[in-house]
Structure 1
Amino acid sequence: MTAPLIAILDDEPDIRTILSSALEEAGFRSQAFGRATEFEAALRHMTPDLCLVDLSLPDRDGLTLVHRLALEKGATVIIISGRAQVQDRVTGLELGADDYIIKPFDPAEVVARVRARLRRDRPGAGEASQTARFAGWTAHFDRFTLEDAEGAETPFSQAEGEVLRLFLDRPKRLVSRATMQEVLGGAAGESFDRAMDVRISRLRTKLREDPKNPRLIKTIYGAGYIFLGDVTWD
């Protein structure tokens, strides 16, 4: 079995070397880039299992790149940045990042978080169905798209897909904030709650829900959410 490929995008050569060495010693493959243009060109002929992305890049806004990776590629993204403000972390998660690590970091922690992220993204063979049908929609988790009754498709990000699967696995049951945090991972608190709110809002938009009276993803104020559709997994 081929080792997972981790793409590293950071303009500091020392950081790239430290991360590549730590990941390869842990059994991963790695490919490192110093500029966003090089990284984006490489994506045309490679598909990394996970991307480690710095926000302070010389040729591109890192947050814009994270959003594109999550939305267009369905990529798993961990931000590694010296930006320690809460708002930067919140914005990164809102734009589709799966985790946020602040510099300076311990390479062992990065490896641990990469492993944890890939465990969530790679269920064992036959464990997880990839297609769910509900209320005239089909969710394709293998290609990160929602298909309507007429066959038109709308992409969703990896992060949005995690939330959608959480609801589809628990139809007509209360999903509390504590459950979301336990299943999806990450530190509980304001940034996690806000990131979940944004992802749910985007899912509602893609499902063409009325934001004032959604019919599928209902908010139970002070408790959590309930998904009201009947779900069939293929």
Structure 2
Amino acid sequence: MTAPLVTILDDEPAIRTLLADTLEEAGFRTLTFGRATEFEASLKSVTPDVCLVDLSLPDRDGLTLVHRLALEQGATVIIISGRAQVQDRVTGLELGADDYIIKPFDPAEVVARIRARLRRDTPARQTGDTATFEGWTAHFNSYVLEDDQGQETPFSHAEGEVLRLFLDRPKRLISRQAMQEALGGGAGESFDRAMDVRISRLRTKLREDPKNPRLIKTIYGAGYIFLGDVRWR
């Protein structure tokens, strides 16, 4: 089995070297980049399992890049940044990042977080990559929602994690705590805000009435329930 590929995008050579050495010792394959343009060019020929992205890049806004990766690439995206403000973390998660690590960091923690993210993806993949429900088909291998007319709408990796959680547990209450335990990431306000944004985006893509959603119901003070009938294949 091929080792997972981790790409490292950071303009500081010492950090790139530190992360690459640590990850390779832990059994990962790595590719390192100092500029966003080089990294984006590589995506034409490689498919990373995890992207580590610094926000302070010399040639591109890191948050814009994170958003594009989340929507188009389907890889797990972990921000590694010196920006420690709560709002920076909230914004990064809202734009589709799966995790946010603040510099300076312990390299062993980065390895642990990557392994945790990959473990969370594995059980869902074993149940199948395609689910049908209420006239929709969710293709998790290509991160696309397809309606009954064949029209496709892309969703991000982070949105896909939430959707898969709902589809794995239809017609069951999922509390905020259960979501945090299943999806990981920081607890508290930043996690709650990120979940609100992802669920709102999923409702929009499923063409739900925001005032009276049919599929993803909010149970105030308790959590959420997905009301559709689901079939995995």
Query: Smaller-chain TM-score range?
Result: over 0.9
* SS of 1:123 mapped into structure 2: helix
Distance of 1:170 and 1:120 partners within structure 2: 15
- TM alignment of 1:74-89, pairs within 5 A: 74-89=74-89
Tell me the equivalent position of 1:63: 63
TM-score, normalized by length of structure 2?
0.98
Q: How does 1:1-234 map to 2 (within 5 A)?
A: 1-123=1-123, 127-234=126-233
Whole-angstrom distance in 2 between the partners of 1:122 and 1:51: 17
Cα distance, 1:131 vs. partner? 1.1
Give the TM-score of the pair, scaled to structure 1: 0.97
Give the deviation of 1:142 after TM superposition.
Answer: 1.2
CA deviations on 1:94-126 (whole Å, 9 max, x unpaired) are: 1110000000001111111111111122338x7
Amino acid at match of 1:93: L
- SS for the counterpart of 2:153 is strand
CA distance in 1, matches of 2:122, 2:218: 29
Q: Classify the secondary structure of the residue corresponding to 1:174.
A: coil
What does the per-residue CA deviation read over 1:204-232, in whole Å, with 9 as the maximum and x for residues that have no partner? 00000011111110111111111111111
CA contact (8 A) 2:9 2:35 kept: yes
Tell me how far apart the structure 2 counterparts of residues 210 and 132 of structure 1 sit (CA, whole Å).
22
Q: Secondary structure at the match of 1:122?
A: helix
Aligned-pair CA distance for 1:173:
1.1
Contiguous gaps of at least 5 residues in structure 2: none
AA paired with 2:81? S
Verify the 8 A CA contact 2:36 2:59 in the aligned structure 1: yes
> Is there any run of 5+ residues in structure 1 with no aligned partner, and where?
none
State the Cα deviation string for residues 4-36 of structure 1 (Å, max 9, x = none): 111000000000010000001111111100000
Task: Say how many residue pairs are matched.
Answer: 233
The 1-side partners of 2:140 and 2:171 are apart by 21
What RMSD, in angstroms, separates the aligned Cα atoms of the two structures?
1.1
The one-letter code of the counterpart of 1:86 is V
Q: Secondary structure at the match of 1:203?
A: helix
SS at match of 2:71: helix
Q: CA deviation at 1:38?
A: 0.4
SS in 2 for 1:67: helix
CA–CA distance in 1 between the matches of 2:130 and 2:71? 19
Q: Following the alignment from structure 2 to structure 1, what is the Cα–Cα distance between the partners of residues 222 and 122?
A: 30
TM-aligned CA deviation for residue 175 of structure 1: 0.8
Q: Deviations over 1:61-88 (max 9, x none)?
A: 0000000000011121000000000000
